[in-house]
Amino acid sequence: MNTLTVSPSPHVHGGDSVKKNMYGVVIALLPALAASLYYFGIGALVVTLTSVVSCVLFEWLIQKYLLRVPTTVSDGSAILTGLLLAFNMPTYLPIWIIIIGSLVAIGIGKMSFGGLGNNPFNPALVGRVFLLISFPVQMTLWPKPFESRFSYFNLTPDILDATTGATPLAAMKEGIANGETVSQIMDKLPSFNEMFFGLMGGSAGEVAAGMLLIGLVYLLLKKIITWHIPVSVIGSIFIFTGILHVVDPLVYASPVFHILTGGVMLGAIFMATDYVSSPMSNKGMILYGVGIGVITVLIRVFGSYPEGVSFAILIMNGFVPLIDRYIKPKRFGESVKPLKA
Amino acid sequence: MLKTFSLGGVHPAENKLSAGQKIEVLPVPEQVSVPIAQHIGAPSEPLVKKGDTVKVGQLIAKSAGFVSANIHSPVSGIVQKIDDVLDASGYKRKAIIIKTEGDEWDESIDRSPALNKTIVASPEEIVKKVGAAGIVGLGGATFPAHVKLSVPPGKKCDVLILNGVECEPYLTSDHQLMMEKGEEIMVGTQILMKGLGVDRAIIGIENNKKDAIEHLTNLAKDYSGIEIQPLKVQYPQGGEKQLIDACIGRQIPSGKLPIEVGAVVQNVGTTFAVYEAVQKNKPLFERVVTVTGKSVSKPSNFLTRVGTPISTLIEAAGGLPEGTGKVIGGGPMMGKALSSIEVPVTKGSSGVLVVPEAESKRSEVQNCIRCSKCVSACPMGLSPYLLMTLSNKAMWDRAEEGKIMDCIECGSCSFTCPSSRPLLDYIRFGKGKVGQIIRGRNK
Ligand code: SF4
Ligand code: SF4
């Protein structure tokens, strides 16, 4: 008789895998990617392809020739980092800058810490923030949806002038600084409806709030993530800016404006929820989410940058080990109900 | 919304292939080997020696302490020897080997099939009879049943909870028993209630056994104080702590027993054995065992004598299929992989699961991606990923602080992990170490 395998229980596995989760997130990004290609055309295509291909390539090269370990590019995490990085970049960004961003994201953000599972910071955000600091001009040149669709390789000053503009957040910040009231500024900006569909300047994948929300529904249905982080980030931004707005509606924009613009949806749904760099317990996730929300608003309203989601997430990434050390999941039998008499 | 336990849990494919298969009585085997350690607690002391003639139901090894159990001969015949044999634990342990001759039962056992509803035994007699009959938890925990019926001084029990959950995938022995021996289980429940002095009993059954829920609900109308509680299908609902939480919403504090929250839990199979012991004077020497698996040609529920080789059961279910990679004693989540199919059926054998080669290997282990799915799955609210790391690094203080001893070894964490990390393997090891440290400290 053949020998029987003797191994400890459990003897069955649920069939979940790293791949399923990574590609699941990629699928959840597809609606927003479609919107991005539709609004930003050639630029979106170039940025996305360059970023994904170079992230995968850098991961493969580093693992094969530098670390000499088995490559893990097939697990989908490099593709995901590439996509997320692309989503966080404006679509007129030159190819060489995208490649540098990918190298920083994969090389420094991920591999230098020991690869998938060990990176304390979200790799795509590491890449993005590096670029923002190194190339502030190129990283804040915002193509307008539709108008910029057919331009990328033919960027003359005229075209540039005609097809780019400020993001709503930047316009708001500047307007307030110039003494305009919120409602005066809002009159010049797209309506909330248009913002919901993404008809405004911004990074390739961040503009279409509606599409990102479809992605959220998919992630929740597939149980890839739980509601705790997205809800606490969006909720705390809404509440915080809501309070400010009630206190002084002339200088503080409405909470709806804040959650529809900039990177809130992309950040809350896809960046802050990165498994590796977010907390492990539900309570910890909520604390982390609220932290991101509060820091984002502080930067947006009181800081010098118009947008703060990326910084807020990176800062809270840094607190994750502390959160996990001190905030434990709810234990069984912890809160004992008294016996009924 | 159906009730269930409040933290964690997973939903493995149910695969109840042998559901609805009538309990089939297996022929008495030619030879049995009856281990003297079939229960939690001290191994029993053999009372027979080589050459002795024994009858079915005769006491052959007696309980060796408060937490221990009597063992009765499952066959009539002659004791061949007392020897070390391989059992389901994977170790060689002492067993009484009896060669069968005929099938002569001890005269005191009432073999008539008639239902006996009148309970004449007093509470004290009930506890004594349950102890004398060698009844242990038949769900697999094998904790001596009479010990649970003896409520320690200062504690109070107000509800009896019966476990008809059978949350392990594949297993159907309890389900089938509830369908075929429902009345006996009702009377058994009343006996246990009388023994404990409670007037309320709840039978928890998962909602994938609708026929059993309906059947027992109908029967319960004629018995006072017995409620049937349908439960949402969720593993590990059959865990004592989870079942109590699901049925009455009370959570046992860390390190404590069910009696702390006024509950005593018994399995439905155990309850049937209690009926037989008290009403029919029949000790525990046979039980229902599910034999199943995707490659098994005839998944079945057998009534079989303790000591029967597992191979005999597999033979009766159509033989060991070609390409079998693993045979599990119990269910796929908590069962033990057997190193040989010649090991005997014991009181705790709820099932035999035959697994094809292709499904008996684990996937390749990958890095922890910190997805927190093991944390969400843990029914005890632990952090399995962390306990694994701490066990691996031998950081026992922090493992203890992380409540490693609360782990019920349900396997939900390993089952869930997308990186196929062997979380429970490490945690089990860590539990052993931390347990030693705690015992050393308390000396
Ligand atoms: S085996 Fe232990 S740690 Fe893992 S899920 Fe079950 S109780 Fe939690
Ligand atoms: S389920 Fe596995 S990969 Fe996810 S956190 Fe737990 S150990 Fe890590």
Reported as a single tens digit per residue, the pLDDT across B373-384 is 999 999 999 999
Over residues B186-213, mean pLDDT = 95
Region B113-133: mean pLDDT is: 92
Distance between CA atoms of residues B8 and B430, nearest Å: 21
Q: What residue type is B12 in one-letter code?
A: P
**Helix residue ranges per DSSP H, B326-392:** 373-377, 384-392
Give the separation between CA A126 and CA A103, rounded to whole angstroms: 10
Q: Is A1's pLDDT higher than 90?
A: no
From chain A, the residues in CB contact with B361 under 8 A are 5
Is residue A56 within 8 A of residue A82, CB to CB? The reply is yes
Residue identifier of the C-alpha nearest atom 7 of ligand 2: B385
The answer on pLDDT for B77 being more than 50 is yes
| pTM score above 0.95 | no
Nearest to B333 among A9, A275, A332 (CB): A9
**What strand order describes the sheet that includes B324-329?**
B23-25, B300-305, B286-292, B351-356, B324-329, B336-337
Strands in B201-206's sheet, in edge-to-edge order, are B226-231, B201-206, B159-163, B263-267
Instruction: Please tell me the distance from the alpha carbon of residue A212 to that of residue A196, in angstroms, as a whole number.
Output: 10
Mean pLDDT of chain B: 93
Question: Confidence class of residue B138 from pLDDT cuts 50, 70 and 90?
Answer: very high
The average confidence (pLDDT) of chain A is 93
* Residue B350 resides in a domain: no
Return the SS3 of A316. helix
Is residue B309 in some structural domain? no
Specify if B312 maps to a domain: no
CB pair distance less than 8 Å for A18 and B418: yes
Determine the pLDDT at residue B140: 77
Domain, as residue range, for B392: 373-441
Structure tokens belonging to residue A110: 């991920």
Q: What pLDDT, on a 0 to 100 scale, did the predictor assign at position B442? A: 83
* Neighboring chain A residues of B320 at a CB cutoff of 8 Å: 1
Looking at residue A337, its pLDDT comes to: 56
Instruction: Output the pLDDT for position B60.
Output: 94
pLDDT of residue B141: 81
pLDDT at B87: 85
Check if the beta carbon of residue A204 is closer than 8 Å to that of residue A271: no
- Of B280, B311, B333, the residue that ends a domain is B280
SS3 category, B415: helix
pLDDT tens digits, residue range B219-241?
A: 999 999 999 999 999 999 999 99
Q: What pLDDT, on a 0 to 100 scale, did the predictor assign at position B348?
A: 92
pLDDT digits over A138-162, tens only? 999 999 999 888 889 888 888 888 8
* Same domain assignment for residues B388 and B263: no
Same domain, B272 and B420: no
Atom in ligand 2 nearest the alpha carbon of residue B413: 1
CA gap B192, B135 in Å, rounded? 13
**B198 CA from centroid of ligand 1 (Å):** 32
Average pLDDT (A93-105) is 97
pLDDT digits (tens, 9 = 90+) for A34-88: 999 999 999 999 999 999 999 999 999 999 999 999 888 999 999 999 999 999 9
CA-to-CA distance for B24 and B277, rounded, in angstroms?
Answer: 21
Please indicate whether, in this complex, the C-beta atoms of B366 and A118 are within 8 angstroms of each other. Answer: no
Token digits of residue A240: 């915080």
d(CA A331, CA B37): 34
Cβ neighbors of B406 (< 8 A, separation 6 or more) are A331, A332, B254, B255, B380, B382
Give chain A's radius of gyration (CA, Å).
22
For residues B265 and B244, give the distance between their C-alpha atoms in angstroms, rounded to a whole number: 8
Residue B423 lies in a domain: yes
**Rounded Cα–Cα distance for residues A146 and B125 (Å):** 87
* Of B415, B410, B414, B20, residue with least CA distance to B208: B20
CB of residue B418 inside a 6 A radius of ligand 2? yes
Find residue B203's DSSP bridge partners. Answer: B162, B228
Alpha carbon A37 to chain centroid, angstroms? 18
* Pocket test residue of B7, B241, B409, B434 for ligand 1, highest count of atoms within 8 A of CB: B409
| C-beta atoms of B362 and A8 within 8 A | no
pLDDT at A341: 40
What's the gap in Å between A196 CA and the centre of ligand 2?
A: 35
Q: Residue B170 belongs to a domain with what CATH number?
A: 3.40.50.11540
Question: Which of B264, B280, B296 lies at the terminal end of a domain, its last residue?
Answer: B280
Query: Domains of chain A: which residue ranges?
Result: 18-140, 165-326
Is residue B5 in a domain?
A: no
Q: Each residue of B46-64: pLDDT tens digit?
A: 999 999 999 999 999 999 9
ipTM for the whole predicted complex goes beyond 0.85: yes
Establish if B174 belongs to a structural domain. yes
Instruction: State the Cα–Cα distance between residues B288 and A46, nearest whole angstrom.
Output: 66
Q: How many helical (H) and strand (E) elements, i.e. helices and strands, does chain A have? A: 15, 0
Residue with token string 């695969």: B15
Residues B271 and B406 in one domain: no
> How many domains does chain B divide into?
2
Extract the tokens encoding B53.
């003639």
Beta-carbon contacts of A105 under 8 Å, excluding residues fewer than 6 positions away, are A55, A81, A85, A123, A124, A126, A127, A128
Domain end call among B230, B252, B280: B280
> What's chain A's length in residues?
341
Instruction: Report how far residue A157's alpha carbon sits from residue B149's, in angstroms, rounded to the nearest whole number.
Output: 89
User: What percent of chain B has a predicted confidence (pLDDT) above 70?
Assistant: 100
**Of A41, A261, A45, A262, whose CA–CA distance to A148 is shortest?**
A41
Residue B163 located in a structural domain: yes
Q: Are B173 and B288 in contact (CB under 8 A)?
A: yes
Confidence of residue B90 (pLDDT cuts 50, 70, 90): confident
Q: Which pLDDT score, from 0 to 100, does residue A336 have?
A: 60
Q: Is the pLDDT of residue B144 over 80?
A: yes
Query: How much is the pLDDT for B124?
Result: 93
Inside any domain, residue B53: no
